[in-house]
Amino acid sequence: MNKFREIKNKFDKKQISINDEDKEVIKNIDKELLSEDISSDELNIHFRNHTRDITSKNGSLRDASEEADDKVNKHQLEQNLSSKLNRPISKDNKTTENDHNEVKILQNKLAQSNTRLYECKNTCIFLRQELNKARKIICREIGDDVTIASLSHNNLSSGWKGRSQQIQQLQQKIIELQHKLNNHNQKSSSERNIVNKKRQQNENSSRELRQAEVTSENNKKKLEAARARIKVLENDLCLTKNNLILINEKKLHDEQLIEALNGQLRAVESRYRDKEIEIKHQRDKLQQNCDELKNELIMVKFQVDKLRQKIGERETEIDTLRLNKSGRACESLLSVSTNVNQTMNSIDDDSMIISGRNKDPNEYVILGLAAESERERLLELVTLLNQRLDKERIDTDHVSELLRCEKNKNTKLEKKLRQLEMERVKMSKINTGYCARSSKSLGNVTSSREQLNSEEIADKLELLEEKCLALKTRLTTVQHDKESDLRIYKHMLENTKKIFIDACRNGTLMARGHSTLTI
């Protein structure tokens, strides 16, 4: 029972503390409404959250009170049972039976009391719920701080108002405050616009100030750089003036060199022209010699044709002799005539003297000997012609080499002229003031001289290579000519040997049947 009382006291204290907290919260809300402009939506949200917290606290307190009631009832039952069980037990059977009966009766009573107790509990819970609902409704209408006793003592005409009336008044105050807030916002918006404009003006002016400071600093730096640049340019001007003096001196020296080189060029050109005239005369002479050789060749061919005609006539005579002479003599004469035809085709001669046109075979032998002598003369003429051709080839090669040398000299002189013209152009630029320093000009002169030397060496190498190629081609042509001449001479010698052998055989045979030969 003491515990039950303690739990009830705690419950009442908690309710009182909750009521005090609610009052403080309401006072704080009123102060906030008066101090600040809060919208109706925010107030509703705040009240809802607060009511939820209160309901959760009430539920926890109800659960605690129910648990305390259950504990109290159980404790009472245990005390009753322990008091009854602690009684002294009689040894008699009668007493035991009486005890059993009493226990049954007590158990029945206990069950009835339990049922009544549960019914009472249910009714208590129902009544408590209704009480809580009534309290909530009264609290909504009256307030948490106000009690029923205070209401009964106070008169109704003392200006007391319920919760709903307070809520309406608060809503009206909220509407009025919203109107004031809107008016204040309009005024504050105009004031804010003015303040913002002033701020923007201040910011713009500060930015302009900063930009002006930056530009002034940049201008100072540019001024310092320009002063340093002016000093550098003054030093460069002094150097350029000194360089111009040196360059003018070099210009005079170079002009003298150019005049000397021009004189050398003119002399070389005059020599070149003289050599060209000489080369033309030599060419004309060579052409005349070639024409003469061609005419001589034509004459030799004409004489060869005449000899062929004579040989044809001799062949006709030999054919007539075949009918009169024996087969062997005719065959020997035919071989002699064929050999004579081969030798006459390869030899060029001026005249060929044949003695008599008798039908005696001794005359044909004499003709063979005369043909052999003519062959020797023709060989001598061919050697002379080859010697002349070799000399003419050597002369033409020498003239061609001279031409090449002169052409190379001409190209070199043209290159030098171009380089001199380029140097003149550079010197003119220097006089106008757009040239580099003297050291660079000296370097250019030395580099140009080195280039000239390298070009001369390259030209010499090209000339030597061309000479080597010309000599190689000349050697190959000479070798081919000599080989062809050797073949022709060998073939002619073999043919003459055969002719002499056949003539000797035929001569021995003819000496037996006819008169002796007279050479």
Q: CA distances (Å), 246 to each of 108, 186, 238, 251, 257, in order? A: 147, 87, 13, 9, 16
204 has a pLDDT exceeding 70? yes
Query: How far is 14 from 8, CA to CA, in rounded Å?
Result: 10
22-26, 291-295, 305-309, 402-406: segment of lowest average pLDDT: 22-26
Per-residue pLDDT tens for 149-173? Answer: 666 565 444 555 556 667 777 888 8
Q: Both 129 and 9 in a single domain? A: yes
Q: What is the DSSP letter of 142?
A: T
Same domain flag for 142 and 255: no
Mean pLDDT along residues 106-113: 79
Whether 251 and 142 share a structural domain: no
Q: Residue 91 — pLDDT band, cuts 50, 70, 90?
A: very low
Same domain, 365 and 487: yes
Dihedral angle of Cα 354, 355, 358, 363, to the nearest 10 degrees: -80
Token representation of residue 444: 């250019």
* Structural domain contains residue 347: yes
- Distance set, CA 89 to CA 80, 98, 99, 167, 302 (Å): 17, 11, 9, 72, 191
* Short-list 57, 240, 44, 72, CA closest to 132: 57
* Residue 392 dihedral angles phi and psi, to the nearest 5°: -65, -40
Check if the beta carbon of residue 368 is closer than 8 Å to that of residue 248.
no
Assigned domain for 169 exists: no
Amino acid type, 481: D
Per the structure, the count of domains in the chain is 2
Query: Which residue intervals of 325-360 are DSSP H helices?
Result: 327-346
Residues 6 or more apart whose CB falls under 8 angstroms from that of 439 comprise none
**Taking 50 as the threshold, does the pLDDT of residue 442 lie above it?**
no
Under 8 Å between Cβ of 74 and 121? no
> Residue 89: inside a domain, yes or no?
no
Residues 273, 125 share a domain? no
Q: Name residues whose C-beta falls within 8 Å of residue 106's C-beta, 6 or more positions apart in sequence.
A: 84
pLDDT over threshold 80, residue 234 = yes
Q: Report d(CA 204, CA 387) in Å as an integer.
A: 111
- For residue 83 the two structure tokens come to 């008091």
Are 322 and 344 in contact by the 8 Å Cβ rule? The answer is no
Final residue belonging to a domain, choices 111, 130, 146: 146
Are 131 and 261 within one domain?
no
Report the number of secondary-structure helices (H) and strands (E) in the chain.
8, 0
Residue 273 falls inside a structural domain = yes
Residue 203 lies in a domain: no
Q: Quote the CA–CA distance of 206 and 354 in Å, as a whole number.
A: 138
Q: Is the pLDDT of residue 518 over 60?
A: no
| CA pair distance 420, 412, nearest whole angstrom | 12
Confidence of residue 122 (pLDDT cuts 50, 70, 90): confident
Whole-model pTM: value is: 0.22
Are both 119 and 252 inside the same structural domain? no
Is pLDDT at 336 greater than 70 in this prediction?
Answer: no
Which of 146, 169, 200 terminates a domain? The answer is 146
327-346 and 438-513 are packed helices; what angle lies between their axes, rounded to 10 degrees? Answer: 160
Inter-residue contact 243 to 437 (CB < 8 Å): yes
**Range(s) of the domain holding residue 391:** 247-513
What pLDDT, in 10s, does the model give residues 353-393? 333 333 345 556 666 676 676 677 777 777 777 777 777 77
User: Is 257 in the same domain as 398?
Assistant: yes
Q: What integer is the mean pLDDT of 178-204?
A: 82
Packed helices 438-513 and 361-432: angle between N→C axes, nearest 10 degrees: 180
Pair 284, 431 in one domain: yes
Q: Whole-angstrom Cα distance, residue 254 to residue 412?
A: 19
486 shares a domain with 346? yes
Q: How far apart are CA 95 and CA 85, in angstroms?
A: 14
Q: How many CA atoms lie within 13 A of 462 on its CB side?
A: 13
* Coil vs helix vs strand at 434: coil
d(CA 32, CA 47): 14
Q: Closest Cα to residue 492, out of 347, 297, 310, 305?
A: 347
In a domain, 240, yes or no: no
Tokens of 345: 């085709």
Most confident of 224-233, 296-305, 413-422, 482-491: 224-233
Same domain, 252 and 140: no
Please tell me the number of Cα atoms within 13 Å of 430 on its side-chain side.
Answer: 23
For residue 34, being part of any structural domain is answered with yes
Is position 280 within any domain?
A: yes
